[in-house]
Amino acid sequence: LEKPELLYGTLDMLVLKAVASGPLHGFAIARRIQQSSGEVLQVEEGSLYPALHRLERKDFLEAEWGVSEANRRAKYYRLTKKGRLELKKSAADWQRISAAVGQAMTARPEGA
Amino acid sequence: VPLRSWLFARDGRTSAEVERDIEDELAFHLEMRERELVESGMSQSDARRGAEERFGDVVRVRERCRTVQMGDRIMLQRAQLVLMIVLVVAVLVIGLQSFAAQSSAQDEIGRMSDEIRRLTAALQRAPGSAMPAAGLSDPLVGARETASRAVAEDAPAAPFDVESESARWLARFEQAKTWRHGLALGEELSELPDDRSLAILERIYAQIPAIDSRQQLLKSFVFDGAKANACEVLHLAATDRELAVQKWAFNYLKSFALRDFSIDPDAYAVWRAANAKEPMPKILARSAADLLVRMRGETGTALRKELEFAARADLRVLAKHLPEEAFTEWKADVLGEAERGAASADGGVQEGALELATRIGVDEQFRRRAVDPLLEPGCPAPDEVRAAAVRALASAPFEGQTARLVEIYERESSGGRESRSVTQAALHALARSKDAHAIPELIRVLVRNDAPAARRDVGSALESLTGVPNEDGHDGEFWIGWFAKNKKRLPEELRAVEIVRTRGG
């Protein structure tokens, strides 16, 4: 089954959400997004890492090198306080937009 | 952008470390994906390929990550590079200036030392001198005071100790680091009074280590009409151990021997035997007479070579050292030979003769007898000969010269027999004449014919005369407008000139 592409602007929010419960490396973040979306969303991996670095520069994430479950050196990203606030704001925006989109899509045509 | 991110990495990492971290991070991702695919049943190679395909363009992703991480620092690196280049250039310029100043100061110190030595010697000889010869507390002040006294008392010049002076000059030449130093030392040496420079050079020339210096010092003896002892100095160079130095000597000797020894080195020994230690006027009179004899005795290619050679001789040397009457007489004789050559049936001889006449200075007789016939309409002489005739015509001013050159240009650029070498010679002569009267004449030429070639060529001559850039070639209309606007800058008699907008042909 073909996976739908992520909506523009949602990757940052999904990344922040993925690390909200604890530090993860990039591969785990991609997998977390895929799993938590019920295997519907598949992150374009080529976009993931620039997004991670961008969020790190914005101080929404902080990174540190650690050892992975496979005993390999891996870079772990952790949500910062600033990132948590950003996630809260993004989530609220998303809720509002998705509700509005849902409402628009379920509304009956006028005069029907 | 915060200053700290320009100066330091956020986490203190260097650029190389940032790049290595990106590399490791992406490699880890690919390895994890590959492992996942292997565990799902794929072969190692298929899994590797699958991981890479899913990831996309690794190089591009790496570059995007690098840009995100180091964007500011990339700018900083570029700024640093530019700054570095500017600094290197500045250091080089300062270094060169410092080197030049140091060299200049060394030369100045040398000159001052000479002066002090000479004046101290004068002081010692001066009657009633209160200043001891040695132990001067302020040598410069002492030297200047002594100079005043020595001049006032008309004291005799300091004795010239050729051996110690030669040693001193050799030491200075040994320190000459560049050809410029050799040139400067040669200039100073050539200004020594009497024949001291020759006495010194006879002792040290062969020991001067730098070929550059042995070449460069010759210039001061041969340029600007040459020093009286130039041939003796050139002999030292002509017998130098290095061919490169000999070559310079033979080149300069052309101006004194009026012949080229570089094509016949044996002839130099003969010439030298006849001219060694002879005074310069005598050497030149003999050379000038020999040249005339050779010209009279030669024909064809040999004559052409003599004519061309004479045309390139440095006449300033003859003008300076020959008595004026002898020089004038010699020029008249040479012009006579040139006239004979110009009438030759050999184009090469004609060209050489006209070139020589141009150099010597064409008189009315030569112009009438030798030049005018070659510039008659329908003259069958080759274009190059007629172009040489135009140059000869332009070499000495005469009444109606500008109009004549314009007429030649127009005639030669139309009528189906365009000769570019002749038209170019005429325009070049007009451009060089700096005669403002040529301006309206040339504008009229353009009004009659403003074909692209004419705009370019005539416009180029007008550019030289007016200073107006010709660029793509202005047409006649432009130049008419320019003339109307700029009449006030032109000579009085041209202000009434009107250029009519008529187009012929």
Question: Average pLDDT over chain B, rounded to whole?
Answer: 84
Give pLDDT, residue B1: 42
Closest CA to A35 of A47, A49, A24, A50: A24
Q: Which of B32, B55, B64 lies at the smallest CB-CB distance from A50?
A: B64
Average pLDDT over residues B99-122: 78
pLDDT classification of B104: cutoffs 50, 70, 90: confident
Q: Report yes or no: B52 and B30 within 8 Å, Cβ to Cβ.
A: yes
Q: Report pLDDT for B121.
A: 76
What number of C-beta contacts closer than 8 Å exist between A and B?
A: 55
Reported as half-sphere exposure (CB side, CA atoms, 13 A), residue B204 has a value of 27
Q: Identify the closest residue of chain A to B67 by CA–CA distance.
A: A50
Q: Which of B344, B342, B456, B465 is nearest to B402 (CA)?
A: B465
Nearest-by-CA chain B residue for A47 = B61
Name the residue facing A50 among B32, B55, B68 (closest C-beta): B68
Q: State whether B61 and A53 contact (CB < 8 Å).
A: no
Determine the average pLDDT of the residues in A96-112: 82
Q: Which residue of B has its CA nearest to A27?
A: B29
Window from A32-41, B135-144, B179-188, B219-228 with minimum mean pLDDT: B135-144
B61 to A50: CB separation less than 8 angstroms, yes or no: yes
Give the ipTM: 0.89
- Asked if B197 and B205 count as a contact pair (C-beta separation under 8 A), the reply is no
* Helix ranges (DSSP H) in B160-264: 162-175, 179-190, 196-204, 211-222, 230-238, 243-257
Q: Do B69 and A46 touch (CB under 8 A)?
A: no
DSSP H or E segment with residue A75: strand A73-79
Structure confidence at residue A3 (pLDDT): 55
User: Residue A25 is inside which H or E element, if any?
Assistant: strand A24-25
Q: Using the predicted structure, report yes or no on whether residue A31 has a pLDDT greater than 60.
A: yes
Instruction: Note whether A33 and A15 are within 8 A (CB).
Output: yes
pLDDT digits (tens, 9 = 90+) for B409-455: 888 887 666 688 899 899 999 988 888 889 998 998 888 887 888 88
Are residues A46 and B33, on separate chains, in Cβ contact within 8 Å? no
Cβ(B124)–Cβ(B133) below 8 Å: yes
Q: Pull the structure tokens for residue B310.
A: 């004479």
Determine contact, residues B505/B448, Cβ cutoff 8 Å: yes
Which of B10, B29, B64 comes nearest A27 by C-beta? B29
B427: left (phi over 0), alpha (psi -120 to 50) or beta: alpha
Percent of chain B that is helix, strand, coil (3-state, to 5)? 75, 0, 25
Output the pLDDT for position A6: 64
How many Å lie between the alpha carbon of B9 and the closest alpha carbon of chain A?
11
- B251 versus A109: the higher-pLDDT residue is B251
Cβ contact A49–B61 (<8 Å):
yes
Asked whether residue B344 carries a pLDDT value surpassing 60, the answer given is yes
The stretch B79-89 carries a mean pLDDT of: 90
Residues from A contacting B (CB-CB < 8 Å) are 25-27, 30, 44-46, 49-50, 53-54, 57, 65, 68, 70, 72-75
* Residue B171, phi-psi category: left (phi > 0), alpha (psi -120 to 50), beta (remainder): alpha
Please report the DSSP string for B242-257 in residue order: SHHHHHHHHHHHHHHH
State residue B156's pLDDT score: 57
Answer yes or no: do A75 and B24 touch at CB < 8 A: yes
- Contact criterion met (CB < 8 Å) for A44 and B56: yes
